[in-house]
Amino acid sequence: MVNRFASLGLLCLMIIMSPKAGKVHGQPASKESIKGLASVIRMPSDEVIVPISDYYLLASTLDSISASAGYEASLKGPNIHLRTDAKTPPIGVLTCWKKGKRHDIPILKSHKQRVQLQVIFPKAQKVEVAGEMTNWAPQSLNQEQGGTWILDLQLAPGKYQYQIIVDGQWQLDPENVLTAPNGIGGTNSLLQVGEEKAPAKGFVELSCTKERLFAKSMRGASEPVVFWENMLLPAPTKPSEGFEIPAWSRLMARSHLRGWWSDELGGVHDFLIPLSEGEPIQSPELLTRQDPHANVLYFMLVDRFLNGNASNDDPLTDPEVHPKANYHGGDIRGITQKLKDGYFQQLGINTIWLSPITQNPLHAEVEYPAPHRKYSGYHGYWPISGTRIDHRFGTDAEMDEMVQLAHAQNINVILDYVSNHVHEEHPIYRAHPEWSAILDLPDGRKNIRIWDEHRLTTWFDLFLPDLDYSRPEVVETMADSALYMLQRFDLDGFRHDATKHIPEHFWRRLTLKIKTEVGKPIFQIGETFGTRELIQSYVGSGMMDGQFDFNLYFDLRQVLAQENSSFKKLDESIHSSLAYHGTVSLMGNITGNHDIPRFISYAGKGLKFDEDEKEAGWNRQIEVEDPNGYQRLKLLTAFLMTTPGIPVVYYGDEIGMAGAGDPDNRRPMRFEGLTPQELDVRKTTQDLVKLRRNSMSLMYGDFQTVHVSDHLYAYRRSYLQESTLVIFNKSAQSETLKLGGKSYRLNPYTFKIIQSKRP
């Protein structure tokens, strides 16, 4: 029945779209259609509620829905309810009908298991657990007879670090002998859920002609479930027949084939193949800046990048503000100057991410936590306006010029936008102080920087009121301000600050407004520090396109910066990320950012993992003390440019600029007087960015671990006929790796990238 309906859906589309019609980008989206590719529905539990408005522009109900075998689907008002049981297959399909139009949405079943945590503390008054399974927020255990404390959890297979909190005191779990280093010199207890197994070997080998997609299942992989855009394709009677690429795709400048399959261990994998007028794209030259998987981002703090217009410099004269925390004069015209110089084109970047540019206060503020240092708002995260450009950064006209020049060079511009809070001088707060979230908690504490316990209401500081998004007027006001900036300056997307601290309904409302009112693709990426499950919960058609994969970054940093840390940890981490986010996700893979110390500060031994990184930046000059740090930085960049996700270069990392915690990690960018090591790092970064942007397998390919040991790591990315083998050696000695009858010799702290084509 499903296959017959899929064919009928194609027939309807062919009738609607005349062969004489012009080429269009993507499937035409009316308010009865799904705009863009419908994201997969990931079920974090056996039951999930999906707002219809995540996919359809009108939040009204659908005419009817159905789901493939094993999945139970029903409509309840503006929501879709899905249920599974123990026998439900790992991959399913939800079919939606609305006013004669059919859309198919993939579903992935949860693989969580019931886990019981049990400890014995007869004299304890309160026992809690905090760890990766709770986003490090303390969660209470239930007291049983005899001093036994129990907590039932539902967890996906994997490893989870945690500690037990007994009457306020943190400690290791005395009932668990498994431990793991926490990456900063300490140790946590380690919970292993499910059997520890090597990554499954099952995969699907893909090939294409102009008319058909052929999928050959290898080593225990299931037959793939394949979609063209948002339509399930009929499975071929014989694998040799392949999946027919719909003829209507030839009338579209860009459409996509995508699919999911399960491996021999039950893990699920995905693929994405972009089509140009119906033909599978095999050359990156056919991709544009509107193909988000081809993005390479460059993030700069505007104030610290380049001073292009000294006449708008306005540093604070307050003697209590240290130069590190004051304005340095960087501005929008400075970015324009580097665009004119061809800096971003030479680096290979095709998306610029700007720190917030709206007006910040004219005075300094004292930070709430000790030692109560004084800062300016040079970073842009203390808005006193949601729409007016800070006079120290430039004018509307200068912003227009910069964006237009970037677009002329095929470079996107996305803006860091602050929605979580405003500065107390913001007109919103002055007119409506009642629009702020609770500050004084019932227990007498100030609700400031209680990141996990009061995640959705905590204030970042006394002068930064957290907004109360339970009020519809707050949602509408802040969404409209963001939409204004997007449309006024022809921006290509947002980096959203503090995503997890804002309720999901705001992101859904903003995204719905963008889909409804903006006539071009908009890329949205969020910032969430937390578990992979929490990060993933904000990604989908109704909210973010992706978020930054901080979990992968922290594991990558530890493995590459520390001699005694094994590549096995990194391999486990990337496969965990792929299980949550998919292989062809839009998750951001960072070289670093403005909230954490520079990678090279650790790798170059100028900063220790077990010290206070913020105080180190204030008390001494952090430099690269071990020149091997530059080699390790090149390993990190090579990893990010050759793995699934979207690479993000933090300004200065392309030359190996050092820095401890904020604000030492925000030093002024340097373009002149670079050392030979810094020039070498920049040349390597340029080569790696260009390699990625000229390789379909690195942008769209699958991921297979080929070899992993303590010091050697090899993986392969494959896309249709193109294959890329990547090999790393992180040890201080030369190493030889034998793969498939070939030997690869690697010098200390080096990598090799070998590309090939299948006939």
Amino acid, single-letter form, for residue 131:
G
Tens digits of per-residue pLDDT, 352-409?
999 999 999 999 999 999 999 999 999 999 999 999 999 999 999 999 999 999 999 9
321 and 331: one domain?
yes
Q: How far apart are CA 543 and CA 416, in angstroms?
A: 16
6 and 65: one domain?
yes
> Model-level pTM?
0.93
Q: Tell me if 286 is assigned to some domain.
A: no
Q: CB-hemisphere CA count at 13 Å for 175?
A: 12
Q: Residue 748 pLDDT more than 50?
A: yes
What residues pair up with 495 in beta bridges, in sequence order? Answer: 416, 525
Most confident of 6-10, 20-24, 317-321, 449-453: 317-321
End-to-end CA distance of the chain: 37
181 and 204: one domain?
no
342 and 213: one domain?
no
How many other β-carbons are positioned within 10 Å of the β-carbon of residue 311?
A: 7
105 and 163: one domain?
no
pLDDT of residue 196: 67
Q: How far apart are CA 615 and CA 369, in angstroms?
A: 13
Q: How far apart are CA 675 and CA 548, in angstroms?
A: 31
Q: Look-up: residue for tokens 């949602």?
A: 475
Q: Tell me if 285 is assigned to some domain.
A: no
Q: Tell me if 289 is assigned to some domain.
A: no
How many other β-carbons are positioned within 10 Å of the β-carbon of residue 142?
A: 10
pLDDT of residue 240: 85
Of the candidates 39, 224, 227, 195, the one whose C-alpha atom is nearest the C-alpha of residue 111 is 195
Q: How far apart are CA 107 and CA 73, in angstroms?
A: 11
CATH number at residue 133: 2.60.40.10
CATH number at residue 473: 3.20.20.80
One DSSP character per residue, 603-623 reads: HTTSS-TTS-HHHHHHHS---
- Under a CB-based contact definition with an 8 Å cutoff, are residues 72 and 82 in contact? yes
Tens digits of per-residue pLDDT, 274-314?
999 999 999 999 999 999 999 999 999 999 999 999 999 99
Of the candidates 755, 750, 640, the one whose C-alpha atom is nearest the C-alpha of residue 688 is 640
SS3 content of the chain, % helix, strand, coil (to 5): 25, 30, 45
Q: Tell me if 343 is assigned to some domain.
A: yes
Here the tokens at position 545 are 């396109």
CATH number at residue 748: 2.60.40.1180
Contacts of 336 (CB under 8 A, 6+ apart): 308, 398, 401, 402, 405
39 and 25: one domain?
yes
- Under a CB-based contact definition with an 8 Å cutoff, are residues 505 and 469 in contact? yes
Q: pLDDT > 90: what percent of the chain? A: 85
32 and 139: one domain?
no
Q: Assign 95 a pLDDT band (cuts: 50, 70, 90).
A: very high
Beta-strand relationship, 243-244 and 212-218: antiparallel
Number of structural domains the chain divides into: 4
| Phi, psi for residue 529 in degrees, rounded to 5 | -90, 120
Q: How far apart are CA 583 and CA 699, in angstroms?
A: 10
Q: How far is CA 300 from the centre of its chain?
A: 17
151 and 69: one domain?
no
Q: Tell me if 288 is assigned to some domain.
A: no
Q: Residue 537 pLDDT more than 60?
A: yes
Amino acid, single-letter form, for residue 180:
A
Q: Tell me if 481 is assigned to some domain.
A: yes
Q: How far apart are CA 632 and CA 561, in angstroms?
A: 7
Tens digits of per-residue pLDDT, 47-64?
999 999 999 987 667 999
411 and 476: one domain?
yes
Q: How far apart are CA 66 and CA 89, in angstroms?
A: 16
Of the candidates 318, 458, 450, 447, the one whose C-alpha atom is nearest the C-alpha of residue 378 is 318
Q: How far apart are CA 428 and CA 342, in angstroms?
A: 40
Tens digits of per-residue pLDDT, 62-86?
999 999 999 999 999 999 999 999 8
pLDDT of residue 8: 32
Mean pLDDT of the chain: 93
349 and 491: one domain?
yes
Q: Assign 683 a pLDDT band (cuts: 50, 70, 90).
A: very high
30 and 129: one domain?
no
Q: How far apart are CA 516 and CA 542, in angstroms?
A: 12
Q: At what angle do helices 332-341 and 396-408 cross, to 10 degrees?
A: 20
Tens digits of per-residue pLDDT, 577-607?
999 999 999 999 999 999 999 999 999 999 9
Domain that holds residue 632: 295-697
Among 256, 280, 304, give the residue marking a domain's end: 280
659 and 711: one domain?
no
Amino acid, single-letter form, for residue 190:
L
Q: CB-hemisphere CA count at 13 Å for 456?
A: 8
Q: Which helix (H) or strand (E) holds 152?
A: strand 148-155
pLDDT of residue 22: 38
Amino acid, single-letter form, for residue 393:
F
Q: How far apart are CA 597 and CA 583, in angstroms?
A: 28
Q: How far apart are CA 534 and CA 554, in angstroms?
A: 16
Amino acid, single-letter form, for residue 305:
F
